[in-house]
């Protein structure tokens, strides 16, 4: 199995965790990511310490409280494939949160270094930027949960819906050099759901010199690590792919470079 694929546990642990990525396990510096499957009434309590967190309610409803705020009965969808924006909660470093599942809950915890410059806040569906990106077989739906235009110290969080037969994260691009203003260094995780569930998505991760060059068949519930390189995604015909992206690096800016071999695929700017 590729070291870039992280598989979920077959059964949740005592807290409901089914998948965990830490900087130590990934061999990098900034991004942490966890997935929980919780039953009604189950609780999860965490202190953020030196990290900030974005709690994404992938499916289900919950009560969420931090040290100073609380939001009860939040949750917008029972499946990610309802394609409506989720409820999320941003929690700064030096804080804590408690989540109590009101229904069966599919929860993602996104982590990155924090500086305690922001207050905890609810990110409601109406706060999420929705856009359609690409055209034809590269068209996909984007939910910008925590883009760089919204306050945070390190985290960038977005979810993408790729219809069967379409491509996303395409043309291939990378963001693995701390070389602004041309390119930013951002580690990235992809967390997948596939519909119907027996399907798969295909992701390639490769560098210019091909020192890293892997093509991965990714099942529902699995995550892919992108430590460097280009990372396009394909959803086979008949299978819709969803993924939640988490990015973080030394500077909270998303500046990428396209693979020069495929840059001709980018739309040409209009000429007046």
Structure confidence at residue 269 (pLDDT): 53
Residue 112: the pLDDT is: 98
pTM for the predicted model, two decimal places: 0.95
Instruction: Give me the chain's average pLDDT, please.
Output: 96
Task: Report the distance separating Cα 158 and Cα 135, nearest Å.
Answer: 19
Choose the CATH number for 5-259 among 2.60.120.620, 2.60.120.10, 3.40.50.300, 2.40.160.10. 2.60.120.10
Judge whether 270 and 54 are in contact, CB under 8 Å.
no
| Residues with pLDDT less than 70, the chain | 1, 267-272
Question: In the prediction, which pLDDT does 210 show?
Answer: 96
Q: b/e for 161-174, b at 16 or more Cβ within 10 A?
A: bbebebbbbbbbbb
């Amino acid at each position: 199995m590729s070291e870039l694929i992280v598989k979920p546990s077959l059964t949740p642990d005592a807290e409901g965790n089914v998948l965990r990525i830490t900087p130590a396990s990934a061999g990098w510096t900034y991004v942490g990511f966890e997935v929980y499957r919780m039953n009604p009434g189950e609780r999860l309590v965490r202190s953020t310490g030196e990290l900030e967190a974005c709690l994404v309610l992938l499916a289900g409803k919950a009560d969420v409280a931090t040290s100073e705020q609380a939001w009860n009965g939040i949750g917008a969808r029972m499946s990610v494939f309802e394609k409506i924006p989720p409820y999320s909660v941003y929690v700064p470093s030096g804080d804590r949160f408690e989540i109590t599942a009101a229904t069966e809950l599919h929860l993602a915890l996104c982590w990155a270094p924090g500086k305690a410059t922001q207050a905890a806040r609810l990110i409601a569906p109406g706060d999420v930027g929705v856009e359609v990106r690409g055209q034809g077989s590269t068209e996909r739906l984007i939910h910008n949960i925590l883009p760089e235009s919204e306050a945070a110290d390190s985290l960038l969080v977005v979810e993408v819906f790729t219809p069967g037969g379409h491509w996303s994260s395409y043309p291939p691009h990378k963001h693995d050099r701390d070389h602004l203003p041309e390119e930013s260094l951002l580690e990235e995780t992809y967390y997948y759901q596939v519909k119907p569930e027996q399907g798969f998505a295909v992701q390639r991760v490769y560098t210019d010199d091909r020192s890293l060059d892997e093509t991965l068949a990714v099942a529902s519930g699995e995550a892919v690590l992108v430590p460097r390189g280009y990372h396009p995604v394909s959803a086979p015909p008949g299978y819709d792919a969803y993924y939640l992206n988490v990015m973080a690096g030394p500077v909270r800016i998303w500046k990428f470079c396209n693979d020069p071999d495929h840059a001709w695929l980018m739309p040409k700017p209009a000429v007046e």
